[in-house]
Amino acid sequence: MNIHEYQGKALFRESGIAVQDGVHCISVEQALMAYDSLGSQVVAVKSQIHAGGRGKGNLYDPDTGNLVMEGGVKIASSRGKVEEYASNILGNRLVTKQTGAAGKTVSNLYVEAGCSIAHEYYLALLVDREADSVLIMVSTEGGMDIEEVAEKTPEAIHKAWVDPLDGLRDEQMTALADSLGLTGSAHGSFVEMIGRLAEMFVGLDCSMVEINPLVRTEGGTMVALDAKISFDDNASFRHSWRAELRDRSEEEETEVRAKRSGLSYVKLDGNIGCLVNGAGLAMASMDVIKLYGGEPANFLDIGGGANKESITTAFGIILEDPNVEGILVNIFGGIIRCDMVARSIIDASAEVGLKVPLVVRFSGTNHEQGKEVLESSDLSVITTSTLAEGAEAIVGAIGGRD
């Protein structure tokens, strides 16, 4: 689950992490009132979407497609500029490297007081599952070009691994501050901030916290000028307050609908729809599709308790994607019976009007009966016994390798 910057800044304040004063706005009028209330001649007018790269993004008119303004984050030094920028941002479509060409419509703004910046840094905390640790990354090269820094000069990014049970050690905090070349009050300010961030990360069950830029002010204070926060959905039962932060308009409608039906669905950019039971098997299915030259159009795990209704929903969601040219069904029968899935596939295909090639691979409970049900039906379907055969068949059915 992702949240907006203004929501992340509120969590930072609660955790004692230094941020600038700011106001969340949903209208131009509110943006002007925010400017008046902040008492800062210079403010940042920031688009709020669940994607990075806002500063280098472009805003487009959703009706005409015309460019409205370059940059989704603007520095305003007057009330008139706040009005201009807020008018150009709200209701228009922001396209960044992370949104894809479709972009995201901006419905929220954050007007934030200006800051005397002496230097910009980069800071991120992530879950490193291979190391069973929280990974902290820092760099002196903060700002909008951090991706280029990571690609061209990876040695400029310094790392530390933290055991979530033991917490961040004093020597690690000091070493991270030293790696940024911080001295004096800035050194102490960073050590205090990173300690609180590490506690917040674990305490709130975050999966990512990114601050870009983290800045050192002229007075030697470290201030978070950004706040990208993602939470681990598996821990939501411990944090009922998260529901209030969720912005459904920022989420894929199909993903929301899939979740309501007990499905795990993530849209991808390929042309082969995948319907699988089990997250690991779904990942393996996508890997094998790519191995045979295809591109998966989605991750879709129907789970172990799937029924006709959820399978019909799954087929419908897959076929809503105009890029889908074929579907691979890969089922390992355990609690779920392959013959039941086969009958559900037949019913679902008739209900949604399946018109693309379909390949089905069954293994496990009643897999032979499941194949017989499909092969004796009027449904145009290719059945296989192995995942490799299934992937090769669906890639071939839609035209083979690129």
Could you report the per-residue pLDDT of 284-303, keeping only the tens digit for each?
A: 999 999 999 999 999 999 88
Residues in the chain: 402
Q: What DSSP string runs through 259-321?
A: HHTT-EEEE-SSSEEEEESSHHHHHHHHHHHHHTT--B-EEEE--TT--HHHHHHHHHHHHHS
**Is residue 41 a contact partner of residue 77, using CB atoms and an 8 Å limit?**
yes
Whether residue 304 has pLDDT greater than 80 = no
Task: Fill in the DSSP letter of residue 215.
Answer: E
- Is 6 considered catalytic here? no
pLDDT given at position 145: 64
Assess whether 141 carries a catalytic annotation: no
Q: Which residue of the set 122, 265, 325, 392 is catalytic?
A: 122
CB atoms within 10 A of CB 253: 11
Higher-pLDDT residue of 336, 124: 124
The answer to whether residue 242 scores a pLDDT higher than 80 is: yes
User: In terms of Cα–Cα distance, which of 397, 358, 402, 398 is closest to 377?
Assistant: 358
What's the pLDDT tens digit per position in 135-186? 999 999 876 566 676 667 777 889 999 999 999 999 999 999 999 999 999 9
**Nearest to residue 210, comparing CAs of 195, 199, 225?**
225
Token pair in block for residue 177: 């501050």
pLDDT for the residue 256? 72
The residue from 112, 210, 325, 392 that is catalytic is 210
Describe the chain by its helix, strand, coil percentages, rounded to 5: 40, 25, 35
Q: What is the reported pLDDT for 52?
A: 85
Question: Residue 239 pLDDT more than 70?
Answer: yes
Q: What is the mean pLDDT of residues 178-201?
A: 96
pLDDT at 312 over 50: yes
What does the pLDDT average to over 8-15? 97
Q: How many CA atoms lie within 13 Å of 232's alpha carbon, on the beta-carbon side?
A: 14
Mean pLDDT of the chain: 91
pLDDT tens for each residue of 319-357? 888 899 999 999 998 888 899 999 989 988 888 888 899
> What pLDDT score does 333 carry?
85
pTM of the model: 0.73
Q: How confident is the model at residue 402 (pLDDT cuts 50, 70, 90)?
A: very low
Q: Which whole number is the average pLDDT over 110-117?
A: 96
Least Cα distance to 5 among 45, 36, 48 occurs for 48
